Chains A and B, each alone.
Chain A
Amino acid sequence: MPFTWQISINRSRNAAGYVYAPAVLDPVAIGDEIIFINNDSTPHWPGLVDATGMAPSSATYFMRYQIPPHTSSTPWVPGVNGTVSFADSLDTKPSPPAGTIVVAGITTVPE
């Protein structure tokens, strides 16, 4: 069965005040589940970044609802291979923290 991965949204001293950890999740396979854990004291709502690098539209959120502080999201499941960039739609500041999920199929892990 697929694996489950976590991306934490942690408080940070950077300008945005938060950071994704890990900012790049790799390797991930089709069917794996990814949940976001909001360790921040404000809500977050990560979603796919479109081709122009703009904040995600309502059709491309990772989850239906924003993630309240100190809670977790519902899972996001990659259905296709590719590299997915994401950012927080609630963060309207320029150049908000971004992250990447690399969906690259199942590869052999060295023993």
Chain B
Amino acid sequence: MKTNMIAGALAVVCAVTAQGQVVACPAQQDSLINMPVINSSSVDHTLRATLKLVDGVRTMWGPSGDPRCAKQVIRLLQGFDPAHMKPWPSSGEPIPGPTFRARLGDLVEVSFFNQIDLKNFGASLDKGDMGTMSSCDQFTASTSATTSKDGPAQNDGMPNCIHGSSTTNVHWHGTHTTPSTTGDNVLLFIRPALRTNGKLRPADETRAMNAFSSIYKACEAHGPPTRWTQLPTAWQTAQRALVKEYDSSAVYEGKAGTMPDRFRLWPFDSLEIAAGGWPQYQIGANPYCFPLPKYDSTTMRMGQAPGTHWYHAHKHGSTALNVANGLTGVFIVSGDYDDALHAYYGPAFREQVLMMQQLATVPFPSVPLPSTVGIAPISINGRLNPVVAMRPGEIQLWRIVNGAFRDAVDFAYFEPTSPTSCSSATAPRTNVQWRQVAQDGVQFRAATYEAEGTVNHTFNLAPGNRADLLVKAPAATGLYTLCVARNIAVYVQSTGGPQPPSALLTVSVGGADMSPVQDFIPAERFPVQPSFLADIHPDSIRFKRELVFGPAFNMIDGKVFVDHHFDQAMLLNTAEEWTVKNTASDIAHPFHIHINPFQIFELFEPNSPAAKTRGNPCYVDPDNPATFKPCAAGQPHAPYIWWDVFAIPTGQQIDVTARCVPAGGGAPLLQRCPAPLHDYIKCVSGKCMEYIPGYFKMRSRFVDFTGQFVLHCHILVHEDRGMMQLIEVVSDKSGYTHH
């Protein structure tokens, strides 16, 4: 019997291998993959694309400490240009979605189809009882070889848990457009297309394409729709039928067609439609149509910034998992900025589009992993440590997107490739050079280029951040490794912090020398920043507010995301000043807000080396609140950089319980804590903690577009689990008259 079992096991191991599940890991230092590009039409200035979300088998690698690589079934994007239909690459590599290229003033028309085969993934529902684990993705874990136990993700509750894992939408990250209807609308839940006998129904896709054609014509003529009832009746009818069909057939607690009314989607859609709103739940497809507004001072307060933007899945509860699956793509908006760079460097000027990803099928471990196992590695365009080819002395424009669902990446240095690359503190690092020219899709001004975009100036790219670099190859041919330090905080209070540098990519310098020799563009020739990106003047600030992230991983201002509740409301066409604090001591939560970028003008880092060094003028003395202030060195300077993601500096947490116990003993009381620290201490459950939050101060304009959207932590598991706020920009006009 035992022999038979072993034989059987061996046979199945072979079968598993034959199925292609466990495989040898792909070799590193293979050439960089260029994602397929879909360009907007130069004739009618419209970006037309079909974006399909499907599932397929791709080779994935294990985290650090796990040498396995495996064929995994993942959700993935495919893109098609209707004017030049080409099949999507069928290689086994988990590449991002297509790169979109449009110009300022263009219209975006992207037909999105969710055609995931639900059967290939764990069961998951969209709705559940608020605050309960009723529809959170459940898992069962073994506690021994003979027992199992149900276990949701820690103590999460709806809607702040991993759920609806094959339901998604598209966030057009970095666009300045409407957050409503067919724009950058992340409140949509687009479920997978329904199937009959396991097969997609072609008529559903045809019906959608026909309806979208009409929707796009209207959008071209009048802009995005403002009401659902403006869409073709046939589409409204079709969606109603599909949502109802889903409601009546969905599996609930192991049985099809038994979903309780309160979990059904159509009742909520119908309420939204009746109220003049946009139905939240849709099945199978959604049209995205919105302009990329070119600044016009007569009609707009801001325009779309030309630069490197991106798109990714953003459905609350599945954002992390879907981005971890690779539902990301680069969205380049061209304008005077890159025109000027191309004009300066000439026709041979090359761009590299680099999408960093942290690919995984599980966003965080369900059970404690062995201590030797880390987290998912950072890949670029579907490969680990790929090779970028450069000619000696060549300068290229690198458009880098951090599409990781968790990690920030600190760009440290290049060094000649060797077996010890990234491990030596003394290796020569004057070979490949870079200068940063844009942040988060917004070009620097020339003064910023000179101050911040200095040669090999290190920078930390948090998840969601983008950076454009001019990269210069050395004259000497060879291989050069870009060493980066992954992190979730550059400065932490105690343990943690950046990992040791590791290889992100390799530059291969070879071929003919550049002639003439290229150098970094001088400041006087640097592209002129559009006027609408001038600094926000302090005198224009209408309102100030404060947000506090942490100390819990899923809370802002002491609470998790609450459905249907606005946490911030801003008046249209006003400027505000926000202080965004972080009370976590080990995680620099990356703050992200949609639609409008912001400028940081003050930074407080209580865990910086200077702040932790006694005797340093910047020392933060936990007993002296007067020292809880920014250090003059390292402060942002005007003209300020525009961001749409910024990792909030970590804070300090000091246990002061012993200093708060009454003289006669007993439970600690705030009144007994040192009086100067009262504003910084919280006493809960017999413990008193002093919090010295890190923070940044920013100014932003909430202009041009009203509507509902979100701010959140861009460590996307935190967002899914509650570190998000629903916010709204409201009109500054009233329809009433009093004369």
- Name A residues whose Cβ lies closer than 8 Å to a Cβ of B: 1-6, 21-27, 29-31, 33, 35, 37, 43, 45, 47-48, 50-51, 59-68, 70-80, 82-84, 100, 102-103, 105-111
Contacts and interface: CB of A to CB of B under 8 A. Distances in A.
B9 interface: yes
B60 A3 contact: yes
B547 interface: no
A2 B361 CA distance: 7
Contacts of A47: 148
Nearest to A56: B148
Q: Which 3 A-B pairs have the closest CB atoms?
A: A65-B254, A82-B145, A1-B360
A76 B148 contact: yes
Contacts of B62: 3, 106
Given A48-B147, A111-B25, A3 B361 contact: yes
Given A37-B120, A77-B151, 9 more contacts: A1-B361, A6-B120, A27-B22, A30-B369, A33-B139, A60-B146, A67-B254, A72-B123, A79-B142
18 contacts: A2-B361, A3-B62, A3-B68, A3-B362, A25-B16, A27-B68, A30-B370, A31-B366, A37-B120, A48-B145, A60-B148, A68-B251, A71-B251, A76-B142, A106-B62, A106-B68, A106-B370, A109-B67
Contacts, number: 191
Contact of A77 (B73, B141, B251, B256): B141
B367 A77 contact: yes
A63 B68 contact: no
Given A4-B362, A67-B254, A72 B25 contact: no
B142 A73 contact: no
Nearest to A39: B119
Nearest to B358: A1
Contact of B255 (A29, A33, A68, A77): A68
A39 to B, nearest CB: 8
Contact of B24 (A30, A64, A102, A110): A110
B650 to A, nearest CB: 24
A106 B368 CA distance: 14
Interface in B197-247: 198
Contacts of A100: 5, 9
Interface string B348-383: 000000000000111111111110110110000000
A50 B251 CA distance: 29
Given A1-B362, A106-B66, A84 B12 contact: no
A71 B66 CA distance: 30
Contacts of A106: 62, 65-68, 370, 372-373
B122 A33 contact: yes
A23 B254 contact: no
Given A79-B141, A106-B68, A1 B63 contact: yes
B122 A24 contact: no
Interface string B148-169: 1011000000000000000000
Contacts of B148: 47-48, 59-62, 76
Interface residues of B, number: 67
Nearest to A84: B145
A2 B144 contact: no
Nearest to B377: A1
B137 interface: yes
Among B13, B67, B122, B137, the one with the most A-chain Cβ atoms within 10 Å of its Cβ is B122
A111 B362 contact: no
Contacts of A59: 147-148
Contacts of B256: 68, 71
Contacts of B5: 100
B426 interface: no
B375 A31 contact: no
B494 interface: no
A95 to B, nearest CB: 14
B253 interface: yes
B726 interface: no
B15 to A, nearest CB: 5
B70 interface: yes
A51 B118 CA distance: 34
B182 interface: no
A72 B121 contact: yes
B436 interface: no
Contacts of B31: none
Nearest to A67: B254
B34 interface: no
